[in-house]
Amino acid sequence: MTTIINFGSCTIDRVFQVPHFVHPGETLPSTGFRIHGGGKGLNQSLAIARAGGRVKHAGRIGPDGDWLRKLLDEAGADTSLIETGEDATGQAIIQVTPDGENAIVICAGANGHITSEHIRRAFSHARPGELLLVQNEVNRLDEIIDVAQARGLRIAFNMAPMTEDALSLPLSRVEFFVVNRTEGEALTGEQSPGAILDAMVDRFPHSRTILTLGSEGAIYGDADSRLAQPAFKVSPVDSTGAGDTFIGYFLAALANGREIWDCLEWACRAAAICVTRAGAASSIPTREEVDQAWE
């Protein structure tokens, strides 16, 4: 099984249940409140670990975030590459509506204080052919990608949250892009799934793209093929973490040598279970749950 190094964020999620997303100037009473572990990086590492994958999480937390490290430890992730500094752990404020939609505001905190020394240490024992997974929630992404490529790692980039800075990164070095429709449009200027994938092939002919479409499922595209996987029908409670669950399960399956169509199906199964539960990290299913669903 191939090792996945996930150089990603860890955040403390403060989740508010609301009747609707708050409007400008409005003070809105919440109908519920919870604190969860989160951050796209942490969520994706948890998903990889719960899927049975071998993952090393590299990142940075503050003194208030040690429980996030324990959360990853308990799931079976290797946390030896997580550093603790004096700066506060990253934070997220999440609104969740009754139909399961979410709106999120994040503060980078410790996620924005990755150093060159940390990057060198994280890849000091990496082997050619291993996978690097990154998102757009930590600093020095260009350096992380450069060092990983120099060590011979294959690179998967979840381009979320999408920013102008992300477009200036060394994207030609990415083997796997994982984007949703909004991120795909920002990358290509196209809106329809087919046009987005065509444009990705034109711009990055040696890369592969996984386009996630929420309740419509996901599509894989490269220079030679397209594969579509419909979503599994469920009654959603909270969509937070569904994309992260999909990515973790897809890469865990890929690292275990499974075919792309199988990776897509397994990832969509996991994401469907995720949206039936509240929270992000707490909603990610185990491998056993996913394997037994829809049998």
244 carries an active-site annotation: yes
Report how far apart, in Å, the C-alpha atoms of 33 and of each of 65, 95, 100, 107 are.
19, 10, 14, 19
CA 112 to CA 121: how far, in whole Å? Answer: 17
CA 206 to CA 211: how far, in whole Å? Answer: 16
The residues facing 220 across adjacent strands are 210, 227
Q: Both tokens of residue 3?
A: 């090792």
H or E stretch at 262: helix 260-274
CA 96 from centroid of its chain's CA atoms: 19
What is the phi/psi pair of residue 58, to 5°?
-110, 130
| Residue listed under structure tokens 């508010």 | 16
Report how far apart, in Å, the C-alpha atoms of 229 and of each of 38, 56, 58 are.
27, 28, 31
Catalytic residue among 73, 244, 262, 291: 244
Q: For residue 159, what is the DSSP state?
A: -
Termini Cα distance of the chain = 26
Give rounded-to-5 percent helix, strand, coil for the chain: 40, 25, 35
Using only C-alpha atoms, what is the Rg of the chain?
18
Q: For residue 112, what is the DSSP state?
A: G
Q: Which residues are catalytic?
A: 244
